[in-house]
Structure formats: C-alpha cells, structure tokens
Amino acid sequence: MRRPPAWYVVLLALVGFERGREIAISKNHEQTRGGTRAARRTYPLMVAAHVGLFTLPLLEVSVRPHRGPRWGWAIVLGAATALRVWSIRSLGSSWNVRAAVPEDLVPVQSGPYRYVRHPNYVAVVLEFMALPLIAGAWRSALLLSSLNAFVLFDRIREEERLLERSDDYRQAFAGRARFVPGVF
C-alpha cells in the first residue's frame, strides 16, 4: 500500500472541515426552527455514504500509482461547492442536513432556487462524482454515487411530500424543474 498523495489528503481535509462546519450550522438551525424530518430511515445510510466519500477514495488511491489532480474534476468540485454554499445561504435558517421541514414554511425563491427546486442536491451529486475522480478513484465514484442516488431518491420524495403540504410551496414551485432548469 502506498501513501495517498499529500495534495489529496489536504483536499479531503478541507472539504471535511467545510462539512463539519455545515453540520454545526445545521444543528443550530434545527434547534431554532425544528420541523418534521424527511427520510428518517435512510438518514443513517446517507451519513455512511458521506463518511465513505472521505475514506473509500483515499483507500483506492493508496493502492494505485499516483497521478496529479485531474483539473477538469477540480473545476466541477469547485462549481459544486459554490452551488452548495449558495444554496445553504439562500435557505438561511431553513437549511439543515436532516431535511426537516418547519410547519411555518416560507418557500425560498431566491438564489439558485429561482431556477430549480433542489440545487443543493445537484451540488451533492456533483461532489460525489468529482471528489473521488479528482484523484482517479473511479471505482469509489461509481459505488458512492450509486449509494448516494439511492439515498437521494428516497430523501427527495419524502422531502417533497412534506413541502407539498404548504400551499405557498406548491404555488411557488409548480412549474419549476427539480434539478436542471427546463428539464423534467
């Protein structure tokens, strides 16, 4: 087994630090706003997928010859991270990692939510591909992206069921695409 490239360890640490920050923000929002949680049964699987995102690619690159970063995937990761931050900031105190929907929901229609219903999930899908592929860990990208797709399918279905209870949400997002403007 080889040592993973130092640049990749640093990148994973930086992304992991950001995720830790997001969890702290989320806990604060949940304590303040509360709400009904979506997809409780697949939440532990989602946590496992995110832990895997920081461990499996690292293991995979440790057993193969090292190459430098794949810059195309670095650009995708940068764009996904920017979209994720923009989504979180746009939702403000409504954003949380458990997809808890408050009873007093006021639909956010600013930021990326002007264009699609679930920009944060678009960012997550891109991150699950890009973070492993930057270092050439294509097996990890395939496995983790598949697991993430399974989790997101359940999570989005449940979250939308909760959101649809709000007349304001239904009216605001009736004609808006879930993930890509103008598609579906």
pLDDT digits (tens, 9 = 90+) for 8-39: 999 999 999 999 999 999 999 888 887 888 88
Chain mean pLDDT for the chain: 93
pLDDT digits (tens, 9 = 90+) for 62-112: 998 778 899 999 999 999 999 999 999 999 988 999 988 988 889 999 999
The answer on pLDDT for 184 being more than 70 is no
Domains of the chain (ranges; CATH) run 6-172 (1.20.120.1630)
CA 120 to chain centre: 6
* Cβ-proximal residues to 154 (8 Å cutoff; 6+ apart), any chain: 39, 41, 42
**8 Å CB contact between 95 and 155:** no
Q: For residue 99, what is the DSSP state?
A: -
The answer on pLDDT for 163 being more than 70 is yes
pTM of the complete model: 0.91
CA separation for the pair 78, 126 (Å, rounded): 10
Higher pLDDT, 178 or 11: 11
